[in-house]
Chain A
Amino acid sequence: MGREAILKSIKQNKPALLPLHEINLEAFSEEVNLLDTFKSNVELVGGTIQELKKNENLTTEINKRYPKAKKIVGNSQTSDIGTIPISKETEPHQLENIDLAIIKGEFGVAENGAIWISEQDFPIRVLPFITNDLVIVLEKENLCLHLHDAYKKIAGRERSFGLFISGPSKTADIEQCLVIGAQGAMSLTVVLI
Protein backbone atom coordinates (compact mmCIF):
# COMPACT_ATOMS: atom_id res chain seq x y z
CA MET A 1 0.00 0.00 0.00
CA GLY A 2 2.61 2.53 1.07
CA ARG A 3 4.98 1.67 -1.71
CA GLU A 4 2.85 2.66 -4.67
CA ALA A 5 1.49 5.75 -2.96
CA ILE A 6 4.98 6.96 -2.09
CA LEU A 7 6.43 6.32 -5.51
CA LYS A 8 3.48 8.00 -7.18
CA SER A 9 3.73 11.02 -4.94
CA ILE A 10 7.43 11.34 -5.65
CA LYS A 11 6.85 11.16 -9.38
CA GLN A 12 4.32 13.95 -9.14
CA ASN A 13 6.35 16.17 -6.88
CA LYS A 14 9.96 15.78 -7.89
CA PRO A 15 11.72 18.45 -9.92
CA ALA A 16 13.08 17.88 -13.41
CA LEU A 17 16.09 15.60 -13.47
CA LEU A 18 19.27 17.25 -12.27
CA PRO A 19 22.63 15.86 -13.35
CA LEU A 20 25.04 13.97 -11.15
CA HIS A 21 28.34 15.80 -11.44
CA GLU A 22 31.75 14.28 -11.98
CA ILE A 23 33.91 14.27 -8.89
CA ASN A 24 37.26 15.89 -9.44
CA LEU A 25 39.45 13.94 -7.04
CA GLU A 26 42.39 16.16 -7.91
CA ALA A 27 40.86 18.75 -5.61
CA PHE A 28 41.55 16.49 -2.64
CA SER A 29 45.03 15.24 -3.44
CA GLU A 30 47.72 16.17 -0.98
CA GLU A 31 51.37 15.37 -0.51
CA VAL A 32 51.45 14.02 3.01
CA ASN A 33 53.32 11.26 4.74
CA LEU A 34 50.58 8.65 4.98
CA LEU A 35 52.05 6.77 7.92
CA ASP A 36 52.66 9.85 10.05
CA THR A 37 49.25 11.31 9.29
CA PHE A 38 47.56 8.01 10.02
CA LYS A 39 49.38 7.58 13.31
CA SER A 40 48.59 11.06 14.54
CA ASN A 41 44.95 10.67 13.61
CA VAL A 42 44.61 7.34 15.39
CA GLU A 43 45.87 9.07 18.49
CA LEU A 44 43.58 12.05 17.91
CA VAL A 45 40.56 9.74 17.98
CA GLY A 46 41.67 8.10 21.20
CA GLY A 47 43.43 5.03 19.86
CA THR A 48 46.95 3.84 20.64
CA ILE A 49 49.59 3.02 18.07
CA GLN A 50 52.14 0.30 18.53
CA GLU A 51 54.69 -0.23 15.82
CA LEU A 52 56.05 -3.73 15.85
CA LYS A 53 59.80 -3.78 15.37
CA LYS A 54 61.49 -6.39 13.23
CA ASN A 55 62.56 -8.59 16.11
CA GLU A 56 59.36 -8.26 18.11
CA ASN A 57 56.74 -10.95 18.28
CA LEU A 58 53.09 -9.97 17.99
CA THR A 59 51.81 -12.35 20.65
CA THR A 60 54.46 -11.30 23.17
CA GLU A 61 53.77 -7.64 22.58
CA ILE A 62 50.03 -8.05 22.96
CA ASN A 63 50.54 -10.05 26.15
CA LYS A 64 52.76 -7.31 27.47
CA ARG A 65 50.20 -4.68 26.71
CA TYR A 66 47.25 -6.60 28.14
CA PRO A 67 48.74 -8.71 30.94
CA LYS A 68 45.41 -9.22 32.65
CA ALA A 69 43.46 -10.37 29.62
CA LYS A 70 42.31 -13.97 30.07
CA LYS A 71 39.47 -14.45 27.64
CA ILE A 72 41.00 -13.62 24.34
CA VAL A 73 39.62 -14.12 20.88
CA GLY A 74 42.42 -14.37 18.41
CA ASN A 75 42.46 -15.16 14.79
CA SER A 76 44.74 -17.50 12.93
CA GLN A 77 45.58 -14.76 10.47
CA THR A 78 47.03 -12.57 13.17
CA SER A 79 48.40 -14.53 16.10
CA ASP A 80 48.01 -17.69 18.14
CA ILE A 81 47.11 -15.76 21.25
CA GLY A 82 43.42 -16.73 21.34
CA THR A 83 42.08 -18.62 24.34
CA ILE A 84 38.43 -18.72 23.27
CA PRO A 85 37.56 -20.38 20.02
CA ILE A 86 34.66 -18.88 18.15
CA SER A 87 32.81 -19.73 15.02
CA LYS A 88 29.81 -18.53 13.09
CA GLU A 89 27.65 -20.52 15.47
CA THR A 90 28.82 -18.71 18.59
CA GLU A 91 25.98 -16.76 20.18
CA PRO A 92 26.63 -13.09 20.95
CA HIS A 93 25.91 -13.43 24.65
CA GLN A 94 28.64 -16.07 24.93
CA LEU A 95 31.05 -13.26 24.23
CA GLU A 96 29.78 -11.10 27.04
CA ASN A 97 32.94 -11.31 29.11
CA ILE A 98 35.57 -11.29 26.42
CA ASP A 99 38.59 -9.30 27.58
CA LEU A 100 40.37 -8.86 24.32
CA ALA A 101 39.85 -9.46 20.63
CA ILE A 102 42.47 -9.29 17.93
CA ILE A 103 41.31 -8.58 14.43
CA LYS A 104 43.14 -8.06 11.21
CA GLY A 105 42.57 -4.68 9.63
CA GLU A 106 42.39 -4.51 5.85
CA PHE A 107 43.67 -0.97 5.40
CA GLY A 108 43.86 2.33 7.19
CA VAL A 109 42.74 5.80 6.12
CA ALA A 110 45.27 8.52 6.87
CA GLU A 111 42.89 11.49 6.98
CA ASN A 112 40.84 10.13 9.87
CA GLY A 113 42.67 7.23 11.46
CA ALA A 114 39.91 4.84 10.46
CA ILE A 115 40.55 1.20 9.62
CA TRP A 116 38.37 -0.90 7.39
CA ILE A 117 37.48 -4.29 8.84
CA SER A 118 34.93 -6.67 7.42
CA GLU A 119 33.01 -9.75 8.30
CA GLN A 120 35.61 -11.78 6.45
CA ASP A 121 38.04 -10.86 9.22
CA PHE A 122 35.91 -11.88 12.21
CA PRO A 123 33.35 -14.66 12.29
CA ILE A 124 30.84 -12.89 14.52
CA ARG A 125 29.71 -9.38 13.79
CA VAL A 126 29.40 -8.29 17.36
CA LEU A 127 32.99 -9.19 18.24
CA PRO A 128 34.76 -5.84 17.71
CA PHE A 129 32.07 -4.10 19.74
CA ILE A 130 31.43 -6.47 22.58
CA THR A 131 35.06 -7.12 23.48
CA ASN A 132 36.40 -5.05 26.33
CA ASP A 133 39.58 -4.14 24.49
CA LEU A 134 40.29 -4.35 20.81
CA VAL A 135 43.54 -4.80 18.93
CA ILE A 136 43.65 -4.30 15.19
CA VAL A 137 46.70 -5.58 13.37
CA LEU A 138 47.47 -3.60 10.26
CA GLU A 139 50.20 -3.74 7.68
CA LYS A 140 51.98 -0.42 7.35
CA GLU A 141 51.85 -0.57 3.61
CA ASN A 142 48.08 -0.73 3.60
CA LEU A 143 47.26 2.93 3.98
CA CYS A 144 45.38 5.33 1.76
CA LEU A 145 45.00 9.08 1.93
CA HIS A 146 41.29 9.69 2.26
CA LEU A 147 37.87 8.11 2.08
CA HIS A 148 37.59 8.58 -1.68
CA ASP A 149 40.55 6.26 -2.10
CA ALA A 150 39.16 3.98 0.58
CA TYR A 151 35.94 3.41 -1.33
CA LYS A 152 37.90 2.58 -4.43
CA LYS A 153 39.73 -0.07 -2.44
CA ILE A 154 36.57 -1.73 -1.19
CA ALA A 155 34.55 -1.34 -4.37
CA GLY A 156 34.97 -4.95 -5.41
CA ARG A 157 34.47 -6.55 -2.02
CA GLU A 158 32.02 -9.23 -1.00
CA ARG A 159 29.32 -7.09 0.56
CA SER A 160 27.85 -8.46 3.75
CA PHE A 161 29.02 -6.40 6.69
CA GLY A 162 32.02 -4.14 7.14
CA LEU A 163 32.95 -0.97 8.86
CA PHE A 164 35.36 1.86 9.31
CA ILE A 165 36.45 1.91 12.88
CA SER A 166 38.20 4.94 14.26
CA GLY A 167 39.35 4.74 17.86
CA PRO A 168 37.61 3.21 20.86
CA SER A 169 33.93 3.78 21.54
CA LYS A 170 33.26 7.15 23.11
CA THR A 171 30.61 9.61 24.11
CA ALA A 172 30.35 13.24 25.08
CA ASP A 173 26.70 13.08 26.02
CA ILE A 174 27.22 14.20 29.59
CA GLU A 175 28.00 17.90 29.48
CA GLN A 176 30.20 17.57 26.44
CA CYS A 177 32.89 15.79 28.50
CA LEU A 178 34.61 13.23 26.34
CA VAL A 179 34.51 9.78 27.92
CA ILE A 180 36.33 6.91 26.25
CA GLY A 181 34.48 3.61 26.52
CA ALA A 182 30.76 3.90 25.86
CA GLN A 183 28.83 0.85 24.60
CA GLY A 184 31.56 -0.60 22.37
CA ALA A 185 35.20 -1.44 23.08
CA MET A 186 36.91 0.48 25.88
CA SER A 187 40.20 0.80 24.06
CA LEU A 188 41.69 0.34 20.64
CA THR A 189 45.30 -0.50 19.95
CA VAL A 190 46.47 -0.46 16.38
CA VAL A 191 49.49 -2.65 15.93
CA LEU A 192 51.37 -1.71 12.80
CA ILE A 193 53.38 -4.50 11.25
Chain B
Amino acid sequence: MKVGLFIPCYINQLYPQVAIATLELLEKLNVDVYYPSTQTCCGQPLGNSGYEEDSKGACQLFVENFKEYDFIVGPSGSCIYHIKKHFDILEQTPEVVKVRENAYELCEFIVKILGKTEVGASFPYKVGLHKSCHGLRGLNLGSCSERMEPHYSTEEDLLNNVKGLELVKLNREDECCGFGGTFSVFEEAVSVKMGKDKIKDHLDSGVEVITGADHSCLMHLEGLINRDNKPLRVMHIAEILNKTL
Protein backbone atom coordinates (compact mmCIF):
# COMPACT_ATOMS: atom_id res chain seq x y z
CA MET B 1 0.00 0.00 0.00
CA LYS B 2 1.57 3.24 -1.18
CA VAL B 3 0.35 6.36 0.53
CA GLY B 4 0.88 9.85 -0.83
CA LEU B 5 1.22 12.42 1.92
CA PHE B 6 -0.69 15.58 1.14
CA ILE B 7 0.43 18.59 3.12
CA PRO B 8 -1.83 21.58 2.52
CA CYS B 9 0.02 24.71 1.49
CA TYR B 10 -0.50 26.68 4.71
CA ILE B 11 0.65 23.77 6.84
CA ASN B 12 3.75 23.34 4.69
CA GLN B 13 4.66 26.99 5.04
CA LEU B 14 3.42 27.94 8.49
CA TYR B 15 2.95 24.77 10.52
CA PRO B 16 5.74 22.38 9.48
CA GLN B 17 5.51 20.70 12.89
CA VAL B 18 2.02 19.44 11.98
CA ALA B 19 3.30 17.98 8.74
CA ILE B 20 6.22 16.34 10.53
CA ALA B 21 3.94 14.84 13.16
CA THR B 22 1.64 13.49 10.45
CA LEU B 23 4.51 11.90 8.60
CA GLU B 24 6.09 10.42 11.73
CA LEU B 25 2.78 9.08 12.94
CA LEU B 26 2.09 7.32 9.67
CA GLU B 27 5.61 5.91 9.61
CA LYS B 28 5.15 4.67 13.15
CA LEU B 29 2.05 2.86 11.98
CA ASN B 30 4.17 1.17 9.32
CA VAL B 31 2.62 2.97 6.41
CA ASP B 32 4.67 3.29 3.26
CA VAL B 33 4.50 7.08 2.93
CA TYR B 34 5.71 9.24 0.06
CA TYR B 35 5.70 13.00 -0.18
CA PRO B 36 5.31 14.19 -3.77
CA SER B 37 7.55 17.22 -3.81
CA THR B 38 5.75 19.17 -6.51
CA GLN B 39 2.43 19.45 -4.71
CA THR B 40 0.90 22.85 -4.05
CA CYS B 41 -2.71 23.13 -2.94
CA CYS B 42 -6.12 21.50 -3.40
CA GLY B 43 -7.70 24.70 -4.71
CA GLN B 44 -10.10 25.09 -1.81
CA PRO B 45 -9.38 28.75 -1.03
CA LEU B 46 -10.26 29.62 -4.60
CA GLY B 47 -13.37 27.48 -4.82
CA ASN B 48 -14.80 28.75 -1.57
CA SER B 49 -14.20 32.32 -2.68
CA GLY B 50 -16.12 31.78 -5.88
CA TYR B 51 -13.10 31.33 -8.15
CA GLU B 52 -13.51 27.63 -8.78
CA GLU B 53 -12.77 28.15 -12.47
CA ASP B 54 -9.37 29.60 -11.63
CA SER B 55 -8.56 26.64 -9.42
CA LYS B 56 -8.71 24.06 -12.19
CA GLY B 57 -4.96 24.26 -12.76
CA ALA B 58 -4.24 23.62 -9.11
CA CYS B 59 -6.72 20.73 -9.01
CA GLN B 60 -5.23 19.18 -12.11
CA LEU B 61 -1.73 19.49 -10.69
CA PHE B 62 -2.98 17.82 -7.53
CA VAL B 63 -4.24 14.86 -9.51
CA GLU B 64 -0.94 14.62 -11.40
CA ASN B 65 0.96 14.56 -8.12
CA PHE B 66 -1.17 11.95 -6.43
CA LYS B 67 -2.61 9.70 -9.12
CA GLU B 68 -0.09 6.91 -8.57
CA TYR B 69 -0.90 6.34 -4.88
CA ASP B 70 -3.31 3.86 -3.38
CA PHE B 71 -4.31 6.39 -0.78
CA ILE B 72 -3.87 10.09 -0.33
CA VAL B 73 -3.71 11.18 3.28
CA GLY B 74 -3.65 14.69 4.63
CA PRO B 75 -3.98 16.34 8.04
CA SER B 76 -6.77 18.68 6.97
CA GLY B 77 -10.40 17.66 6.72
CA SER B 78 -11.53 20.62 4.68
CA CYS B 79 -8.91 20.06 1.95
CA ILE B 80 -9.82 16.39 1.69
CA TYR B 81 -13.48 17.33 1.54
CA HIS B 82 -12.72 19.77 -1.24
CA ILE B 83 -10.99 17.07 -3.26
CA LYS B 84 -13.83 14.63 -2.78
CA LYS B 85 -16.62 17.09 -3.32
CA HIS B 86 -15.42 19.76 -5.69
CA PHE B 87 -13.00 18.03 -8.04
CA ASP B 88 -16.16 17.47 -10.05
CA ILE B 89 -15.10 20.53 -12.05
CA LEU B 90 -12.38 18.44 -13.70
CA GLU B 91 -13.06 15.99 -16.45
CA GLN B 92 -13.74 12.73 -14.62
CA THR B 93 -10.88 10.68 -16.00
CA PRO B 94 -10.03 7.40 -14.21
CA GLU B 95 -7.18 9.24 -12.48
CA VAL B 96 -9.39 12.01 -11.16
CA VAL B 97 -11.94 9.48 -9.95
CA LYS B 98 -9.22 7.43 -8.26
CA VAL B 99 -7.79 10.45 -6.48
CA ARG B 100 -11.21 11.59 -5.30
CA GLU B 101 -12.16 8.15 -4.04
CA ASN B 102 -8.95 7.48 -2.20
CA ALA B 103 -8.34 10.79 -0.48
CA TYR B 104 -8.55 10.46 3.30
CA GLU B 105 -8.33 12.74 6.24
CA LEU B 106 -5.62 11.46 8.59
CA CYS B 107 -7.86 10.25 11.45
CA GLU B 108 -10.29 8.63 9.10
CA PHE B 109 -7.43 6.84 7.37
CA ILE B 110 -6.07 5.51 10.64
CA VAL B 111 -9.43 4.33 11.93
CA LYS B 112 -11.12 3.18 8.75
CA ILE B 113 -8.32 1.96 6.55
CA LEU B 114 -5.71 0.90 9.07
CA GLY B 115 -8.42 -0.24 11.49
CA LYS B 116 -6.65 1.24 14.51
CA THR B 117 -7.84 3.46 17.31
CA GLU B 118 -4.88 2.93 19.61
CA VAL B 119 -1.69 4.47 18.27
CA GLY B 120 0.44 4.25 21.40
CA ALA B 121 0.30 7.93 22.25
CA SER B 122 0.38 9.51 25.63
CA PHE B 123 -0.65 13.05 26.47
CA PRO B 124 -1.69 13.84 30.05
CA TYR B 125 -3.82 16.95 29.53
CA LYS B 126 -7.41 18.10 29.44
CA VAL B 127 -8.17 18.30 25.77
CA GLY B 128 -11.05 19.96 23.96
CA LEU B 129 -11.80 18.63 20.51
CA HIS B 130 -12.78 21.13 17.84
CA LYS B 131 -14.84 19.27 15.29
CA SER B 132 -14.23 21.18 12.11
CA CYS B 133 -17.33 21.49 9.99
CA HIS B 134 -16.00 20.14 6.73
CA GLY B 135 -14.65 17.05 8.44
CA LEU B 136 -17.78 16.57 10.49
CA ARG B 137 -20.58 17.46 8.12
CA GLY B 138 -18.68 17.00 4.89
CA LEU B 139 -16.63 13.86 5.49
CA ASN B 140 -18.91 12.45 8.19
CA LEU B 141 -16.01 11.98 10.58
CA GLY B 142 -18.58 11.93 13.35
CA SER B 143 -22.23 12.33 14.14
CA CYS B 144 -23.52 15.91 14.08
CA SER B 145 -25.64 17.44 16.79
CA GLU B 146 -28.32 18.37 14.26
CA ARG B 147 -28.87 14.89 12.98
CA MET B 148 -30.81 12.23 14.82
CA GLU B 149 -28.26 9.46 14.58
CA PRO B 150 -26.22 7.37 17.02
CA HIS B 151 -23.20 9.17 18.43
CA TYR B 152 -19.83 8.41 16.90
CA SER B 153 -16.62 10.32 16.34
CA THR B 154 -13.48 9.26 14.56
CA GLU B 155 -11.29 11.75 16.40
CA GLU B 156 -12.80 10.88 19.77
CA ASP B 157 -12.12 7.20 19.13
CA LEU B 158 -8.45 8.04 18.71
CA LEU B 159 -8.18 10.57 21.53
CA ASN B 160 -9.97 8.31 24.01
CA ASN B 161 -7.15 5.84 23.54
CA VAL B 162 -4.39 8.32 24.28
CA LYS B 163 -2.85 7.59 27.66
CA GLY B 164 -3.55 10.24 30.27
CA LEU B 165 -5.67 12.35 28.01
CA GLU B 166 -8.94 13.63 29.37
CA LEU B 167 -11.42 14.57 26.67
CA VAL B 168 -13.55 17.45 27.85
CA LYS B 169 -17.23 17.87 26.97
CA LEU B 170 -18.16 21.25 25.55
CA ASN B 171 -21.44 23.15 25.78
CA ARG B 172 -21.80 23.45 22.04
CA GLU B 173 -20.07 20.38 20.77
CA ASP B 174 -19.91 21.16 17.08
CA GLU B 175 -20.68 24.80 16.36
CA CYS B 176 -18.50 26.38 13.69
CA CYS B 177 -15.45 28.35 14.92
CA GLY B 178 -15.87 31.09 12.32
CA PHE B 179 -12.75 30.56 10.23
CA GLY B 180 -14.31 29.76 6.86
CA GLY B 181 -11.31 30.66 4.67
CA THR B 182 -11.66 34.15 3.24
CA PHE B 183 -14.76 34.54 5.43
CA SER B 184 -12.29 35.20 8.23
CA VAL B 185 -11.24 38.45 6.60
CA PHE B 186 -14.29 39.48 4.59
CA GLU B 187 -16.64 38.94 7.52
CA GLU B 188 -14.05 39.89 10.11
CA ALA B 189 -16.44 40.98 12.86
CA VAL B 190 -18.60 37.85 12.89
CA SER B 191 -15.63 35.57 12.33
CA VAL B 192 -13.83 36.98 15.33
CA LYS B 193 -16.94 36.82 17.48
CA MET B 194 -17.50 33.18 16.58
CA GLY B 195 -13.92 32.35 17.40
CA LYS B 196 -14.07 34.13 20.73
CA ASP B 197 -17.25 32.31 21.68
CA LYS B 198 -15.66 29.01 20.76
CA ILE B 199 -12.61 29.74 22.89
CA LYS B 200 -14.83 30.77 25.78
CA ASP B 201 -16.66 27.47 25.58
CA HIS B 202 -13.33 25.60 25.81
CA LEU B 203 -12.14 27.75 28.70
CA ASP B 204 -15.43 27.45 30.57
CA SER B 205 -15.21 23.70 30.20
CA GLY B 206 -11.72 23.55 31.70
CA VAL B 207 -9.80 22.72 28.54
CA GLU B 208 -5.99 23.05 28.54
CA VAL B 209 -5.31 22.12 24.94
CA ILE B 210 -7.59 22.60 21.94
CA THR B 211 -7.09 20.11 19.20
CA GLY B 212 -8.71 19.19 15.92
CA ALA B 213 -8.19 17.56 12.57
CA ASP B 214 -8.19 20.77 10.57
CA HIS B 215 -5.43 23.22 11.21
CA SER B 216 -7.05 26.15 9.43
CA CYS B 217 -9.68 26.44 12.19
CA LEU B 218 -6.93 26.05 14.74
CA MET B 219 -4.87 28.83 13.13
CA HIS B 220 -7.83 31.18 13.54
CA LEU B 221 -8.41 30.16 17.16
CA GLU B 222 -4.71 30.35 17.93
CA GLY B 223 -4.56 33.86 16.53
CA LEU B 224 -7.28 34.95 18.92
CA ILE B 225 -5.84 33.09 21.87
CA ASN B 226 -2.41 34.62 21.38
CA ARG B 227 -3.75 38.12 20.94
CA ASP B 228 -5.77 37.88 24.14
CA ASN B 229 -3.17 35.84 26.02
CA LYS B 230 -5.65 33.14 26.96
CA PRO B 231 -4.36 30.15 28.92
CA LEU B 232 -4.92 27.64 26.14
CA ARG B 233 -2.64 25.74 23.84
CA VAL B 234 -3.50 24.74 20.32
CA MET B 235 -2.23 21.53 18.78
CA HIS B 236 -3.17 19.56 15.72
CA ILE B 237 -4.47 16.09 16.53
CA ALA B 238 -1.50 14.58 14.68
CA GLU B 239 0.83 16.24 17.16
CA ILE B 240 -1.05 14.69 20.07
CA LEU B 241 -1.27 11.27 18.49
CA ASN B 242 2.46 11.42 17.77
CA LYS B 243 3.34 12.20 21.40
CA THR B 244 4.85 9.50 23.55
CA LEU B 245 6.29 9.86 27.00
Do A and B share a direct contact in the complex (Cβ within 8 angstroms)?
A: no
Residues on A lying within 8 angstroms of B by beta carbon are none
Residues on B lying within 8 angstroms of A by beta carbon are none
